[in-house]
Chains A and B, each alone.
Chain A
Amino acid sequence: MKSIFLATYLAVKEVIRNKGRFFLVALVIALITVLVLFIAALGEGLSDANRQYVANLDAQLIVFLEKSDYSITASRLETNTVKAVRRVDGVADAGPIYTSNSEIVSLPEPLKISMLGVEAERPGMPPLLEGRYFRGGEAREAVMDMSVALRTDLKVGDEIEIRSTQGTEDEFYTLKIVGLVDEQAYFFQPTIFVPAATWELARPQSESELNSDTPYPNIIAVKLNDPTQVEEMRLRLQNQVSNIEAADIETTINNIPGYTAQQGTVQTQGVFTLLIGILVIGGFFQIQILQKVPQIGVLKAIGSSNFVVGLSAVIQIIVVTAMGVGIGAALNYLFSLGLPPTIPLEFNGTRSLIAIVLLLFIGPLGGMVSIIYAVRIEPLKALRLG
């Protein structure tokens, strides 16, 4: 215990008496922290913008068209598949999901959106934050995601006009916003939810599709009686319902076009930034230890143990790293306050927390070599020998 107090005393005194030097190092660590957290937030933000709707589904399995490779856009199911899925033993409920893009034009700046057709109070329809669900049939009603509300001044009760290109013509549809949901961004776009028939009416269509008024769901969200039986139910669904393949939520997310590649890129950037941090911190502390060789020699010569010298270096590195990470995290927080919602940065995600924990480790990791070096310094250095 005495050694720990002694090491802490030496470490803290040196930091206090060399505030400028250590503050500069802390500032470098802070900038690395800003960069790492920025990349983590970008990863989280991009990930959320891409998969939020699918990740938050109240379902355990997703049914796709057979051989669609779990691609939502490539999958188009028969309308009667939904009923077939609901009849399978072990399925609590199933809801069709229809996906397309659209554009709200009744705003000062048109807003591109994801328009999802779902059935109210079925899997696929998120829980309401405010308002009510739309009525069925061709009701000209929509539930909007908070991501739409944050980018516009729209609120429940307002009307929006959307534009769809159908054949060679632009068609305009007016929808009344009746409800609000949260965290439902899909494919990098803010989302509105509409009834299936309205979706079929208002979605962009090619010339050949105009003759049909039957909506074909892209996928079906399946809620199970026993959420732990995912794999068994996946196989059962594939056996009992023809022309389908089923996947769990994670597989579905990983097969969203570009998702895995994008996340891999962002994570690689994050890892390299951490490595750069380790090298920078390691370099600084190594230079500092080299400058302190005679001083450490004196400390050892007058009776300080290797444990005290090594622990003092460790404490110093931890203190400076913690200061740097603290400053960096605070800068990030301030930074996040001024960001518009259109930039996909998510600072309060688990990735940011993991990044902060990793950043706290890079100091001691980077300083490892210098700590070992400090412990190996011979006290004879104090006497010009060794």
Chain B
Amino acid sequence: MNSVALEVRDLVKSFALDGATINAVDGVSFQVKSGEFVALVGPSGSGKTTMLSILAALLTPTSGQVLIDGQDLAQMNEKRRVKLRREKIGFTFQSNNLIPYLSARENVEFMLRLNNRLDRAGRVRSDELLARLGLMDRLHSLPAQMSGGQQQRVAIARALIHNPAVVLADEPTASLDTERAFQVVETFAHLIHENDRAGIMVTHDLRMCQFVDRVLQMQDGKLVRIYDSKQEIMELAQGTLKH
């Protein structure tokens, strides 16, 4: 039985807007286990990105709890949150993902540098990971010299290289064509499972859900439905699910 890597308990995030209070995230609870890949879906304004920001320790919730690897984010000051992001979380973003003046290899190794773990073994692991992602001939390429799909694969390698407890992906396929998007998410899912990490992907593209183990659907800040059977997920991804 895999352990719980991420636990969210009755999470609320409110914003004041024109004198009114809006709950961008409204009483959401769920768990993600190590080795599990979860998609967070929902229409624009449903609270997906706000939720991801809280899970990433970038935004403080109004109430509720987020535990990553057993550590409660609410109990941490900013310095500890930075440390947690560095050590326990891996990120891929929608765009501007990589540091533009570092090569593919340097971008991946940068996470090890940040964690003071860049040694010979780390370098070998970084190259192996990039090779697994089909980027062996791109080790010295700068982001601007790579395609969008290649950049996302480098970002995936960077998100996994330091063995984080949780990997968060914010619309990782938004800037990719369909074929590359499928390749990237499939590889991502494969590595999440293989490395026994907990992965959460925010996406508006339901077709990408075919590679995940569970789908969390949000609407108006609430978690309105959880899809956890493979059949349901495949039907959702193919657009054939009957409500």
**A residues neighboring B (CB under 8 Å):** 2, 6, 9-10, 13-14, 16-18, 294-295, 297-305, 378-380, 382-385
Contacts and interface: CB of A to CB of B under 8 A. Distances in A.
Interface in B173-193: none
B91 A302 contact: yes
Contacts of B97: 298
A6 B113 contact: yes
Interface in B58-104: 58-59, 79, 82-83, 85-87, 89, 91, 93-102
Contact of B111 (A14, A295, A302, A384): A302
B116 A302 contact: no
Nearest to A308: B114
Given A298-B96, A301-B91, A302-B86, A9 B113 contact: yes
Nearest to B50: A385
Given A380-B58, A383-B49, A385-B50, A303 B101 contact: no
Interface residues of B, number: 35
B106 interface: yes
A6 B114 contact: yes
Contacts of A297: 96
Contacts of A301: 56, 58, 85, 91, 93
B142 A384 contact: no
Nearest to B94: A384
B50 A294 contact: no
A28 B98 CA distance: 30
Contact of A304 (B100, B114, B142): B114
A299 B83 contact: no
Majority DSSP secondary structure for residues of B touching A? mixed
Contact of A305 (B49, B82, B96, B158): B82
B99 A383 contact: no
B218 to A, nearest CB: 16
A304 B81 CA distance: 11
B36 interface: no
A385 B48 CA distance: 12
A291 B211 CA distance: 35
A383 B49 CA distance: 7
22 contacts: A6-B113, A16-B101, A17-B100, A17-B101, A17-B102, A295-B100, A298-B91, A298-B93, A299-B99, A301-B85, A302-B91, A303-B87, A303-B114, A303-B115, A304-B82, A380-B58, A382-B96, A383-B52, A383-B56, A384-B94, A384-B170, A385-B59
A303 B83 contact: yes
Nearest to A14: B101
Contacts of A378: 58
B53 interface: yes
Q: Which 9 A-B pairs have the closest CB atoms?
A: A303-B86, A17-B101, A294-B96, A303-B85, A14-B101, A380-B58, A379-B58, A303-B114, A382-B93
Given A300-B82, A385-B58, 14 more contacts: A18-B101, A294-B96, A295-B100, A298-B91, A298-B97, A299-B99, A301-B58, A303-B83, A303-B111, A303-B114, A305-B82, A380-B53, A382-B58, A385-B50
Contacts of A380: 53, 58-59
B53 A385 contact: yes
Nearest to A304: B114
A71 to B, nearest CB: 63
